[in-house]
Amino acid sequence: MTGRAWGVLFVLCGAIFLEGIDVAMLNVALPAIRDDLDLSTGTLQWVMSAYVLGYGGFMLLGGRAADLFGRRRMFVLWLVVFLIFSGLGGLATEGWMLILARFVTGIAAAFMTPAGLSIITTGFPEGPQRNKALLVYAGTAAGGFSIGLVVGGLLSAIDWRWVFFAPVILSFAILLAALALVPASPRPDRAGQGVDLAGAVAVTAGILLLVFGVERATHVPAAWTVGTIGAALLLFLAFVLIERASSSPLVRLGLFRSGALVRANVSGLLFAAGFFGFQFIAVLYLQELRGWSSLQTSFALIVIGVDAVLSPLLTPRLVARFGNARTIFGGLLVASLSYALFLPIAEDWTYAAMFPGLLLLGVSFSLVYGPLTIVATDGIAEEEQGVAGGLLYTSFQFGAALGLSAVAAVNIAATDGTSSADLLGGYRAALVVPLAAALTAAAVSAFGLRARRAAATGGPSSGDGDRGDSASTGGSASTGGSTSPGGSDAAGGVERPAAIGA
């Protein structure tokens, strides 16, 4: 890659680092926020869920906006919005103010992140260069999360409001670098194309209602929960009908003919549900039951940040040797083992007993996150890269919101009192949710192994078009005489973008 390409990648990695550190710092600061603003467990969960709902609910619209209005333009504009509302979150004096600020910050991330990802996927040619860039990108996100755990503990020990003010400073630095380094892209041809607002409203409302129904399940009659979830499913059905009838849909439904893309999104949703749900319970266990400080909690969880090292160093080798499908499947099995090791948590558990599970969780993230990003965007036409990236990040954030809501609901339902034994029982019950999510994700991803074997033997692969599963970094698949590490090529009708700085 040229120096210009590395400069652009540096800026985009800065943005995903910002997103990772922002989430991690808030995660550690939750108990301090609860004490200062006097929030219930349900309300505290919404401080996290508001962000991921805004993020996941508007991600598809954000991906489409990047394709229609220009990736650099959307990236810079919404980075400014992120900066402003992160600062406003630090000024909140009531729970609802903080929740609202987090929701808008999530919306900003929903427009900024797919724009950044699509700059990479359209700026680097499909194959080794793009895969390398994506794995560096994923490793940076992991690094942001692990550093955020420590920085969040340090800042919340001073004042939890600095958890929101620190991203303002980082956002401003990234903004200056973006204006200087990210090249302006040609104005997209929007002739005959528009923004599908009806589809965006339907899918966002459906996500909000579904998560709200899950979170409120322990507080309201069963009929109310069924009605809420039923209304959410009807909105998703309406979204499908709107997309089918629209001349410029938010998401072209033909994208879902790719089995690899569908599996990547479903697996990503379930993996994020377990990953974020587990951390929510782990932080409550360490700080509220064990009485650990936010700084002690930060250092306890930092081992998860091993993914920042493994993602750029180990994962590319595993993908080159075994392919994306096997790497993802192995990562999900490791995640399942990690959660299973935490099920017998006790009031007097030593850190040595926690360490293996936390370490394995970091390993699993490094094996799953980057390869999923490759599979979900591989073989997609340039003009739909923003939408493909938006789909994946929608799945991640929707899964995170569902996971947070589910573990909070189970925790509340299983906690009968305020004694240590009561709290411990609630945590143990809630930890079943991440385990179930990871096992289900592994079962879904296992279908990719079958498709990969069918492709390798020349047999039918169920019409998946599993380009990303058959081979990737370093592993070539040839079609019609041309070779592509991603398994897609010009003979397959996929338009290849020009490389940044090539």
DSSP letters of 363-414? HHHHHHHHHHHHHHHTT--GGGHHHHHHHHHHHHHHHHHHHHHHHHHHHHHH
Tens digits of residue pLDDT in 176-207: 999 988 887 666 665 555 667 888 888 888 87
Please report the sign of the dihedral spanned by the C-alpha atoms of residue 76, residue 77, residue 79, residue 83.
positive
CA distances from 394 to 56, 64, 142, 157 (A): 4, 12, 18, 32
Structure tokens at 200: 């965006």
Spatial distance between the Cα atoms of 461 and 452, rounded to a whole number of angstroms: 8
Tokens 């509220």 locate to 288
CB 364 within 8 A of CB 441: no
pLDDT > 70 in the chain, percent: 86
Tens digits of residue pLDDT in 211-238: 778 767 767 788 998 999 999 999 999 9
Query: Does residue 478 sit in helix, strand or coil?
Result: strand
Spatial distance between the Cα atoms of 153 and 160, rounded to a whole number of angstroms: 9
Spatial distance between the Cα atoms of 271 and 401, rounded to a whole number of angstroms: 12
**Predicted model pTM:** 0.73
Tens digits of residue pLDDT in 57-116: 787 788 778 878 888 889 999 999 999 999 999 999 988 899 999 999 989 988 998 888
> Minimal CA–CA distance to 33: which of 270, 284, 371?
284
Tens digits of residue pLDDT in 313-370: 888 889 889 988 999 999 999 999 999 999 999 998 999 999 999 999 999 998 998 8
Q: How many CB atoms lie within 10 A of CB 286?
A: 23
Q: How many CB atoms lie within 10 A of CB 399?
A: 27
CB 133 within 8 A of CB 9: yes
